Amino acid sequence: MTLDGNPLRQAQLVTAVAVAAGRASPLVKPDVDDGTGEDAIALSIDDALANGTLILLAEDNLTNQQVIGRQLTKLGYTCEIEDDGKLALDAWRNRDYALLLTDCHMPNMDGFELTASIRADEEDREDRAPIIAVTANALEGEAERCISAGMDDYLSKPLAMVDLKNTLRKWMPAAQAGVAPPAVKTDESNPSAQADVNTRSGVVDPKFLRETFGDDEETIREIMQDYVGPAGETVGEIDAAYEAKDAAQIGAAGHKLKSASRSIGADGLADICARLEAAGKSDDWPEIERNYDQLEPMFTAVMANIAAM
């Protein structure tokens, strides 16, 4: 009996052992788990590397690193994380990763530059590694930009477990075979990437985290607590940029805080950051000022909410 380790699931492992021990028939197939992979078993880094399923996650935001990393583990995948595009490229060139999940906006080298460097390295090789964009910019044209840059697929933050699972199942076999399927345009109208604006408020509603991690309250609290410090630093960056009248930096910091806030369910704060990001890019100071005035009271409300959890 052969065992599919992509990813290795508990039910499959138990069945294989039972068949080997003569306690089950190899003709009876176990039920396929169509859920979010609660029974998946993540391999060690060395075993995942040997199995051809080790994933590289390039993501500079600590909260998103934790959330996506835990999601991958829950689905039975093993990953290594780099928080800088250049570091990710160095890691990629020194490890035989099966697949790259990359944020589009990172310091030193963004996801588009990272992808271009990897594709350039592959020009003299027959194999082509799957690269999946992971970004908080659910904007019209973003998916096309990712595909045009040489990426193979696109996921919007925060990542719905079913979307992440299905995307990895689509591209991971290609990584093992060394052949990539044709590029597919991702539907940006995916409802999992859209939030109901009528339910957004200044409080934190970790609905996404609970849908992802179930009743693992310890994990949810850890993610929340680890959000606090970096988020405060990013607010400080926005304050400094506002004082310096640096619209571009306000936009960049707004993007960073937007992504982390959305992941923990602070949608009201994320919305303010999204508007700061857009206004910063367009140098729209009236819009920057309107939203900057809302930032501190909203952030204070979010911090109070987290402290009360």
pLDDT at position 147 over 80: yes
**Which domains are present in the chain?**
42-190 (3.40.50.2300), 198-307 (1.20.120.160)
**pLDDT tens-digit map of 160-217:** 999 999 999 989 854 443 333 334 333 433 333 333 332 334 479 888 898 888 888 9
String of b and e for 181-200 (b: at least 16 CB within 10 Å)?
A: eeeeebebeeebbebeeeeb
Q: Is the dihedral of CA 218, 221, 223, 225 positive or negative?
A: negative
DSSP classification of residue 9: B
Outline where DSSP puts E strands in 104-204: 131-135, 153-156
- DSSP classification of residue 177: H
Taking residues 129-150, report their average pLDDT: 83
Report CA 44 to chain centroid distance, whole Å.
Answer: 20
How much of the chain is helix, strand and coil, in % rounded to 5?
55, 10, 35
pLDDT, position 23: 44
Calculate the alpha carbon distances from 47 to 41, 79, 99, 167 in Å.
12, 11, 15, 22
Give the pLDDT band (50/70/90) at residue 141: confident
How far is 153 from 130, CA to CA, in rounded Å?
8
What are the CA-CA distances from residue 78 to residues 109, 128, 272, 284 (Å)?
A: 24, 20, 34, 43
**Contact present, 288 and 250 (Cβ < 8 Å):** yes
Task: Tell me the whole-structure pTM to 2 decimals.
Answer: 0.71
CA dist 237 and 128 (Å) reads: 39
pLDDT of residue 212: 87
